[in-house]
Structure formats: C-alpha cells, structure tokens
Structure 1
C-alpha cells in the first residue's frame, strides 16, 4: 500500500491530495454523527439554496468534499482516481503543468455544477434540499476528454464511443433517480469542457 500511495503521489499529486482530503472529511463526518446525517452534512459544508441565499457562499466549495455514505464516497473517489491520474499525466508538460491544470478543472467544474444546482433548485422552490459531493467536479474531468474530441491531432487517441458512453453514464442516472444531482453533473461536465477548450485556445495561440 505504501508503494501504491507513493506512486500515486508522484505521478498525480493533485489527485492524491484531493482523494485524501475527501476521505479525511468523510472520516470526521462519520465520527461526528454519521455521514448520512443531514445535520452533520450541513455542519461540514453541504449546501442548500437557503444557506446560499443567506450569504454562506463558501458552501459552493466545501460541499465538494462532503459525501453521504461510504458508497457515495467510494464511487466518487474511484472515478476521481481513474480520471484525475490520466489528466495529470496527459497535461503534465503543458502550459500549467498537469497538477495545476487538473486542480483548475476540478474546482471550476465543481463551482459550475453547484451554481447550476443553485439556480435550478431556486427556480423550483427547493430551498432546503441538501446537496453535496465531488461528482460535479469529477464530471468536469470527464469534460476534459469531451473537449479533446474537438481538438485535431488529439481526438485520434480517444475512443469516441467510450467517451460518449461515459457522458451518458454521468448524466443518465439523474434522469431516473431523484437522489442523484443531475444538475451538478451537467454543470460540472460543461465547466470541464469550457476550461479545456480555453486551455487549448491559449496553447495554440502561442
């Protein structure tokens, strides 16, 4: 395990640190009353429209590190590991370096997902629906691959059908399961695409 951890930290330090933060927050949630306890989730930074409307905008960030139950955490961390490591390796020698690029995508996408969630929930009058999780930010990492499909010279290295399948898996569950925040996924995906396309626009303009 030590070797695996050291390898991950070396190859993809940003991914490793983000996973560590999420796991640590989850453990503290668990010992503080349970990760599925709504009051505990809000205490640790989960967001509602009511909270945001009362000036607690910092929850747009903290909610990315709060999870409901071990399954929620495990699924998100597995996806984060799989997508994050590759993004850091692919962009390792780019303008920003792989780790910084990955962090920019992660946080911008997470914010986009939470902003879209806020607007949709507010329009529906869902002021007290609690939202949390890293899935919006993680869908943003998937958005990196979607953006790469539009870049000549890079799209040949991607499996178009596989990327579309993963996009469908990102969005589709929220259409049938109301406990899944589809808007966070969609907003995060769009955020990742926009950040990556902007990155390539600057790169090719040099």
Structure 2
C-alpha cells in the first residue's frame, strides 16, 4: 500500500483550461458531421422531388431553382436573401455532392478540433457567404449552388495557417490539392469560378487570424470578430452588387 501527497497530486493536475482543451481534442468533429447531414438531407429532398437531378445533367429542377443563387432573386423586389445560404447546401448531381462532402469531412476533421465548434461554425459560415458574394460578383447570370465555396474557404484557411507556422503546404499535400482544385475551377466549364474564389478569399482572411500561431500576438476576440466581419461584408457586398444589376 502506498501513499500520495494531496498537494503534489493537485499540483500535477492540469488546470481547467488545459483539461478542456484535451477534452475538446478528443471529441468528434460534430459540427462537420451536422453540416454534412444537412447537405445530404437537402440533396435527398431534391432527388426525391425530381430523380432526374441525381445525374446532375439536364435542366434545373424546381427545387434547385427555388434554392439556387442568382442576383436576380436578390433584387427587383424579390429580396430572397435566404438564397445566399441555401445555395451553399444545394448540389447538382451525385458526383458534385459526394466530392464536396468528402472534402468537407477531411477538412472539418482537421480544423474543427483546434478551433472548437463555435469558431469552426463561424469560419464555415463566413466561407459560405464569401462564396455566395463571389457568385454575385462573377457568376451573376447562372443558378449556382454547392458547398464548394465553403470547402475552398476551409482549404485556404488551413493553407494560410500552415504557412504562418512555417510549414510548406506542398509538403503536406494540401497545397497540391488546393492548386488542383483551382485548376479544375478554371479548366472545366459550368463550375462557379466566383463561388470558389470568393470562398477561398474569405477563408484565407479568417484563417490568417483564427489559426494564427501561438507565438503571434492576436487578441482572442479577433478569432470571433474576423469571421463575423467577413460574413457581414459578404452580405452587404452581395446586396450592393445585386442592387446595381449584378
């Protein structure tokens, strides 16, 4: 039978903040899974309403028309601003949704744990709205949809974070993935260039602050204010661009 020094045990025990950090690191990426579930639920709804949407080809279905983003729906008295968000959960075909959900799963598992659920949610929302702003700026005449703007934002945020920590993004494979996706964006017709670039810019701005290295002096509140500001600017910018006719 041994004995323990109570004071020694208390001294060796991590403080509350450290324990909370370790607890959070061991949790599943819940927000990521919820976002994926919402995307799949919307895709299932669209598919059930019109099975032809499963292939991603042909004309738009009514559900896709009702949820997709186009500057026309934001002006001329329609004011359907919900499309800035709903379009980010709409997909055109099984390949489209499968690729985006795979990337979201990978990036969400990478980013949600270090950020925490609230800040990751804010990052994702800012990237989604940044992508929608990009659609209004560059692809205003098309019905756009998909999580790829937000996914591009997560990729950009992760890449900026690694660079700030002195890690070569190409040594991790993330840089190659990002460049490949940029190439595909401009090489294949029918892909929203504005949505992808808008999301990437939003993610890079947020990642620069939210995922700053520990040795960089960044106020804690900035990790919340930055995505909120990016989201606000994206919504206001979308309004102004739509008001002038896209």
Q: TM-score category by the smaller chain?
A: 0.7 to 0.9
Contact 1:173 1:182 in 2 (8 A): no
TM-score by length of 2: 0.68
SS in 2 for 1:142: helix
The equivalent residue for 1:21 is 38
CA distance in 2, matches of 1:193, 1:114: 16
- Greater shift in the superposed pair: 168-177 or 13-22: 168-177
Gaps of 5+ in 1: 1-9, 92-97
Query: What are the superposed Cα offsets for residues 146-190 of structure 1, whole Å, 9 maximum, x if unpaired?
Result: 211342xx3338545723212212211121212111221111111
CA distance in 2, matches of 1:70, 1:183: 22
Match of 1:12 among 13, 29, 35: 29
Distance apart, 1:55 and its partner CA = 1.2
- Greater shift in the superposed pair: 79-88 or 142-151: 142-151
The equivalent residue for 1:171 is 182
> Which of the two has higher C-alpha Rg?
2
After superposition, the Cα gap between the structure-2 partners of 1:72 and 1:205, relative to the gap in structure 1 and judged at 3 Å, is: closer
The equivalent residue for 2:222 is none
Gaps of 5+ in 2: 1-26, 220-246
C-alpha RMSD of the superposition: 2.3
The equivalent residue for 1:73 is 97
CA distance in 2, matches of 1:16, 1:78: 11
CA distance in 1, matches of 2:143, 2:88: 12
- Greater shift in the superposed pair: 76-85 or 103-112: 103-112
Distance apart, 1:201 and its partner CA = 8.8
How many pairs were matched up? 184
The equivalent residue for 1:113 is 131
Match of 2:50 among 33, 41, 66: 33
Contact 1:102 1:141 in 2 (8 A): no
CA distance in 2, matches of 1:160, 1:177: 27
The equivalent residue for 2:203 is 192
2:119 is the counterpart of 1:101: yes
- Greater shift in the superposed pair: 13-22 or 109-118: 109-118
